[in-house]
Amino acid sequence: MSSLVASISFGRWIAIVLAVALVAAFPLFYENPYYMTVIVTGEIVLLLNISWNFILGMAGVWNFAQLAVYALGAYGSGWLMLHETWLPVPLAIVCGGLLAAGISLLLAFPTLRLFGIYTSLLTFSFAEVIQYAATNNPGGLTGGSFGFPAVGGLFPSYGQTSYLRAYYWVCAACCLGGCLAVAWLRRSHLGIALRSARDAPQYTAARGIDLRSARIAAFGLSGFLAGIAGGLYLAFEQSFTTDQMGLTPMSLDVTMLVIGGLGTVTGPIIGTAIVVAIQTWLISYPGWQLTVLGTILLVIVVFVPGGVVGLVVRIDSRIRLWVREDAEPEPSSSSGPP
Partner 1 sequence: MTDVVAIIVNGLVYGSIYGLVAIGMTLIYGTLRILDMSQGSMVMIGGYAGWWALSTHGFNPLVALLVAFVLTFVAGTLTELVSVQPLIGRAKSGDFEMVTFITTFAVGIVLANLALQHFGALQQNVPPIVGGVLHVYRGVSITYHELTMAVISVLLMAGLGLVLARTRWGLAIRAVAQDLDASRSLGVPVTRLYPITMGFASALAGVGGVFLGALYFASPTAGDLPLLEALIVVVLGGLGSLSGTLYAAYLVGLMQAFCEVKIGTTWTFPILYAAIVVILVFRPYGLKGSPSEARL
CB nearer to partner 1: give 5 or 302: 302
Residues whose CB is less than 8 angstroms from the CB of residue 297 and which lie 6 or more positions away in sequence, other chains included: 251, 254, 255, 258, 259
- Based on the shown chain and the rule CB under 8 A, indicate whether residue 71 belongs to the binding site for partner 1: no
Q: Least CB distance from residue 183 to partner 1, whole Å?
A: 24
Amino acid identity, position 268: P
The alpha carbon of 207 is separated from its chain's Cα centroid by a whole number of angstroms, namely 30
Whole-number CA gyration radius for the chain: 22
CB nearer to partner 1: give 286 or 337: 286
> Cα–Cα distance between 151 and 235 in angstroms, integer?
7
Instruction: Show the binding pattern over residues 11-50: x = contacts partner 1 (CB under 8 A), - = does not.
Output: ----------------------------------------
- Based on the shown chain and the rule CB under 8 A, indicate whether residue 297 belongs to the binding site for partner 1: yes
- Based on the shown chain and the rule CB under 8 A, indicate whether residue 129 belongs to the binding site for partner 1: yes
Residue from the set 37, 188, 239, 251 that interacts with partner 1 by CB under 8 A: 251
- Based on the shown chain and the rule CB under 8 A, indicate whether residue 331 belongs to the binding site for partner 1: no
Residue from the set 139, 159, 208, 287 that interacts with partner 1 by CB under 8 A: 287
Helices (H), the chain: 2-7, 10-29, 33-53, 66-83, 89-111, 117-136, 160-187, 189-199, 201-206, 211-237, 247-260, 267-281, 286-303, 307-327, 331-334
CB nearer to partner 1: give 296 or 312: 296
Q: Which stretch binds partner 1 (CB under 8 A): 155-163, 178-186, 289-297, 313-321?
A: 289-297
The DSSP line for 268-314 is: HHHHHHHHHHHHHHTTTSHHHHHHHHHHHHHHHHHH-TTHHHHHHHH
CB nearer to partner 1: give 86 or 303: 303
Q: Least CB distance from residue 314 to partner 1, whole Å?
A: 15
Cα angle, residue 334 at apex, residues 328 and 338 outer, rounded to 5°: 175
Positions in the binding site for partner 1 (CB under 8 A):
62, 110, 113-118, 120-122, 124-126, 128-129, 132-133, 136, 247, 251, 254-255, 258, 287-291, 293-295, 297-298, 301-303, 305
